[in-house]
Amino acid sequence: MTTPIKLHRHPLSGHSHRVELFLNLAGIRHELVEIDLAAGEHKSPAFLALNLFGQVPVIQDEDVTLADSNAILTYLAERYAPDWYGEDALARAEIQRFLSIAAGPIAYGPAAARLVNVFGAQIEAKRPVEIAHWVFERLDKHMKYRDWLVGDTPSIADIAIYSYTAHAPEGDVSLNGYPYLRALLERVEGLPGFKPMQASAVGLAAA
């Protein structure tokens, strides 16, 4: 890599944060490009040329332009930090399982609940909160006798799960009942190079 990777992101986007967090943890050179969601910059022709779906994050790595946070994590790990992507086919399949959970119940649960409070999304919040507790109960059980989601070392699975789980209280989803899941968040936060996601006004008020 001769030039830093450009990460087009919004500071309150958990999808953006998981990519930014991994770039920092893996020591991959990068620069941040702020996308003003409130002003609709993600729907501008210039941004849509990078991602037709009009969503952050997007990375530019020399001649590679790639959207979708989980796809980006997979690309970055395989190209620049293979230790984060499992040592064999089974480990990578297990990592993919948790990437799917991040794109499924994490997105439709704590991430969606947070959208209501942080971004004023006009959606009914009860169901996302229910989904959040459903998935957190299962992740907590999974973590009871483990340090990391997959194997004995951190992987992109932990990074994919982290951001919206850690910020679930901003969507009125308490983490108090999930001690093993909270322990995982603390392990991620203790990794060298960890960078927290910016707290929203909701998060600051709750602190």
Task: Judge residue 164's burial from the number of C-beta atoms within 10 Å of its C-beta, 0-12 exposed, 13-18 middle, 19 or more buried.
Answer: buried
Tell me the per-residue pLDDT of 81-102, one tens digit each, with 9 for 90 and over: 999 999 999 999 999 999 999 9
pLDDT digit string, tens, across residues 40-49: 899 999 999 9
| 151-162 core/surface letters (b: 16 or more CB in 10 A; e: else) | beebbbbbbbbb
3-state secondary structure of 18: helix
pLDDT at 1: 65
Residue 135 has pLDDT above 90, yes or no: yes
pLDDT for res 201:
58
Confidence class for position 117, pLDDT limits 50, 70, 90: confident
Pick the residue with more confidence: 9 or 125? 9
CB 149 within 8 A of CB 4: no
Q: Which domains does the chain have, with CATH numbers?
A: 5-83 (3.40.30.10), 85-193 (1.20.1050.10)
Tell me the mean pLDDT in the region 9-14. Answer: 94
Q: What is the pLDDT at residue 25?
A: 98
The per-residue pLDDT for 206 is 39
Tell me: pLDDT of 198 over 60. yes
SS3 59: strand
Residues whose CB is less than 8 angstroms from the CB of residue 125 and which lie 6 or more positions away in sequence, other chains included:
112, 113, 116, 171, 172
